[in-house]
Structure 1
């Protein structure tokens, strides 16, 4: 935090301006009247917001247009022992068959929730499209959750149908709802067999009255309590996610002055997707980013992310883009087999949420000269959008997370909610057509998340300097481990439930590969002596594996303030932590 008084004389609002660097003719073609990225201001959920004029009305229209424009182009490749490719036309016809089964056999209609817990796969993707085409809402359950965590997601969203496969389906069967007969999970493979019986290669999606502000998906995001909240995203949110990503990428490429690699002729734009569909970074590119551009996504076989595997896929499928977190790129660039796989056609590196270390940028320049590196900042509640950084911005402000993304506005606000000026630290707030509807069935949390005018309060500290945003710290103690968001309070609650634990505090500690690791400081009960192995096993019984502390340190006491709250800053500032 800064010691200077807040600057109220010149409050700063970040807005998209990158297209101004283009020539007037190019800018008019892209963003002028009738252009693909023409923008105007309209009322969205009762407040003015910048929107794309030439937008599609809802998500099913995105798939329909992609199938019309690129019927035979590859859409999704599901790799494995027997790789399978879906073209856009095949995805459309199969989604129509799935929709018929969901409607006739399971009674799914507009507004119904369909909860899904599964690894990424063809059946999962088609079930998403089918649900959306019926006006239903996809509730993406974290496939790594324990039965207790799955139970919470089901209780919150009250789905009319629960689908699953592989190990997540086994855990669904272990929930109380399933054991008591209140829930009968349906295997995605069974849904596919039923769809195969009615599949028509010429089939079209059902015609449903869908408004762009209707809910499309509920994605879970951990909060300041021990229970995840269901961030509800609309059709408009997703459509704008695809469009502002396309505009940002187009402007960056055109403004690069020939410095960036170009996709070789005859090579389809292709990227790998290692993010699960229950993450906005997995479902967003799959539903809008890829079909809007007619590009292709390759999904590795289910399992832990593996740098060598992604490098092999890069050469085999001629990947032109890599998407991930800095952790992934470190591992690929330093992999002993890096030079054995073709990476010359990789033109774009996409990431978000974490600044690129200077050493990583130098490594890219050494091993992949001319590749375009993009970064940004956003969260589930903003459909992944907020700020955008690449090109000249990456050169001049590599430690920042960029300027405002297209159609989004960004402010830094003080404790009184008023916007601050240049270089003043405050809470980052975001407004725009990409901002979510609210938290499902939680009006109190929704109300607390918004300031007047539908400005979303991110809970993160930041400052604006020279037109870009720098993140300062996380007000909610967020830990980002290999791209996974972890909130310490969930782990702390679990640890203190152990009969041998009197108190616990959890923080994130730096890790060169994962970004951060989870560390727990534990105070045992008098006379008790729990072991690290015992506490990890205890935590793992109700928490996903990535939340289980990698490091545990036993203490006689924790540092407290006058009100009895643990002062985590003292733990974080101890020698050896940073």
Structure 2
């Protein structure tokens, strides 16, 4: 089993200032829903307290900047603005729609200021927010409504139009964000001061507790029909101090490894990032509800539409973005942008993300094209609020392909089919435990019992191995290819393909074979102007991997299918290439 090792690697005086009694990141062991876990001693009791704290510490700092197309004026809200607006919206939710603690409130829409404020209003009353996937069709939205039975649904015109004619849409009010905000009472200047707004926010539900549920986020659906993961306030509150501590400790340990005494970081400009993650996903509400208010970070949003690396770079310069976050494919498109050198990226301090391990070749390209920036990654999922493993700095460069060590409040292990932890370096199913774990799947006790045990361990369905104290992600359980009795982990082949100079993207799946059971098929995307052939691809893999791992079939595509959060849709590839010629 892995626990966070970095606290023990710090010199005693530094550790005491960072983690000791009364320190900002003091850690302790407490019972969490009947299981002893590592938690932060000085944590906020719930999410409204996190926003109220931000309102007090950085009232006038920009919190949300929603940009428009072209030169359209951006909408900017400070932390104080959002706090005051959330109180006013909460009054309408109560008076017009009867929303109370424990009710579900549905949301379906593109990221917007109205969406963000209404989320804060609903959860501050004690309601459970339901993030309906904005990319779903009408029947998929109907499934989400049937499952969660919200008392009201808010959204934008485009997404709400998909509910037209659905029986499920008539079971509760369906309200446009524009109509909700038109119903707000006029602002009262005396009530909108940061102090009074923060106090009013906390007074909305004084009985709110940290293990009360706050959000239902649907699993991506890449492995079956979406299920609703139920997250408590505690899970999201824990997200930010965990991230801040692991970043600070990693930087200090790197200083030690470089031969310099660990020093307090120099005062930095306030953090600014571009948030591409949708609010129906942990990559969206994690930064929105906890990272930004905890750190004073400004979140910049691109105009609605498909993610565009040029727009991302333009916004980086315009708003002085300090951190990029995204899946590896997005980071690669940014650092290989043909006009990268034309942009002033002097304020950019770091790059990070998740969704997949950074392939060694991607890491080399980032270091070559953007030298001197911190790079981080990790491993987590909706059910763990994105927390699990973490890697960055020297550790990442020394073990590319790893997703790292356990994060400060998480525990990790891999288990075999018998539930026993295998020897170091052997593959098993990855399990995660920690205070950011989910409560279970909404209205699905059977699915919950299949993955969440009485000791708080969540069985992820991912294969991995622990070697020399680091976790390596091998494959999702369902992605494993078994060819003639040999287990083949697609990620190993995908990492090799990522290093090919003429390939821009690649994915590996198994396709049926009458005698062998399965064969390996690679779907690859050529770089512009490249003329690489299937035989070239096979020779490239054969030069580094065993012969049974060499793709029997190679197919070329103009792009690979990804969902709204950047996750590769292997089911789509399997449907398209189910029968290899």
What secondary structure does 1:356 align onto?
coil
Question: Which of 377, 390, 393 is residue 388 of structure 1 equivalent to?
Answer: 390
Counterparts in 2 of 1:174-323, with a 5 A limit? 174-178=165-169, 181-195=170-184, 197=186, 200-202=191-193, 203=197, 204-205=200-201, 206-208=203-205, 209-222=207-220, 226-257=224-255, 267-323=269-325
Whether the 8 Å contact between 1:147 and 1:174 is mirrored in structure 2 is: no
Report whether the alignment pairs 1:50 with 2:54.
Answer: no
Q: Cα distance 1:347–1:554, how it changes in 2: closer, same or farther (>3 A)?
A: closer
Report whether the alignment pairs 1:75 with 2:63.
Answer: yes
- RMSD, aligned α-carbons: 3.1
What secondary structure does 2:300 align onto?
strand
Whether the 8 Å contact between 1:95 and 1:127 is mirrored in structure 2 is: yes
Whether the 8 Å contact between 2:422 and 2:428 is mirrored in structure 1 is: yes
What secondary structure does 1:138 align onto?
strand
Whether the 8 Å contact between 1:344 and 1:368 is mirrored in structure 2 is: no
Tell me the CA shift for residue 297 of structure 1. 0.8
Question: Which of 46, 50, 54 is residue 66 of structure 1 equivalent to?
Answer: 54
Task: Show CA shifts across 1:333-382 (max 9, x none).
Answer: 12122122211211111111312222222222222211010000010000
For residue 28 of structure 1, what is the aligned residue in structure 2?
A: 16
Greater relative contact order (Cα < 8 A, sep 6+) = 1
What secondary structure does 2:270 align onto?
coil
Tell me the CA shift for residue 195 of structure 1. 2.2
What secondary structure does 2:21 align onto?
coil
Deviates more, 1:195-204 or 1:370-379: 195-204
Q: Distance in 2 between matches of 1:251 and 1:129?
A: 31
After TM superposition, which residue ranges in structure 1, 4 or more long, deviate above 6 angstroms? 262-266, 478-481, 505-508, 544-548
For residue 353 of structure 2, what is the aligned residue in structure 1?
A: 351
For residue 128 of structure 1, what is the aligned residue in structure 2?
A: 119
Q: Distance in 2 between matches of 1:250 and 1:553?
A: 45
Q: Distance in 2 between matches of 1:252 and 1:454?
A: 27
Q: Distance in 1 between matches of 2:173 and 2:358?
A: 45
Q: Distance in 2 between matches of 1:226 and 1:196?
A: 44
Task: Extract unaligned runs of 5+ from structure 1.
Answer: 1-12, 489-504, 514-539, 559-570
Tell me the CA shift for residue 546 of structure 1. 7.1
Counterparts in 2 of 1:484-499, with a 5 A limit? none
What secondary structure does 2:459 align onto?
strand
Q: Distance in 1 between matches of 2:339 and 2:472?
A: 35
Normalising to structure 2: TM-score of the pair?
A: 0.80
Task: Show CA shifts across 1:359-406 (max 9, x none).
Answer: 222222222211010000010000001000001210211111001011
Q: Distance in 1 between matches of 2:49 and 2:317?
A: 33
Task: Show CA shifts across 1:140-175 (max 9, x none).
Answer: 000000000000000000000101103212112343
Aligned residues: 496
Tell me the CA shift for residue 82 of structure 1. 1.9
Q: Cα distance 1:452–1:424, how it changes in 2: closer, same or farther (>3 A)?
A: farther
Q: Distance in 1 between matches of 2:83 and 2:178?
A: 18
What secondary structure does 1:255 align onto?
helix
Q: Distance in 1 between matches of 2:409 and 2:314?
A: 37
Q: Distance in 2 between matches of 1:247 and 1:506?
A: 41
Q: Distance in 2 between matches of 1:166 and 1:363?
A: 41
Whether the 8 Å contact between 2:222 and 2:569 is mirrored in structure 1 is: no
Whether the 8 Å contact between 2:388 and 2:432 is mirrored in structure 1 is: yes
Counterparts in 2 of 1:487-526, with a 5 A limit? 509=523
Q: Distance in 2 between matches of 1:122 and 1:405?
A: 31
Task: Extract unaligned runs of 5+ from structure 2.
Answer: 481-489, 495-506, 510-518, 528-562
Normalising to structure 1: TM-score of the pair?
A: 0.80
Deviates more, 1:160-169 or 1:265-274: 265-274
Q: Distance in 1 between matches of 2:478 and 2:296?
A: 39
Q: Distance in 2 between matches of 1:25 and 1:109?
A: 48
Q: Cα distance 1:224–1:340, how it changes in 2: closer, same or farther (>3 A)?
A: closer
Whether the 8 Å contact between 1:37 and 1:243 is mirrored in structure 2 is: yes
Question: Which of 352, 372, 375 is residue 373 of structure 1 equivalent to?
Answer: 375
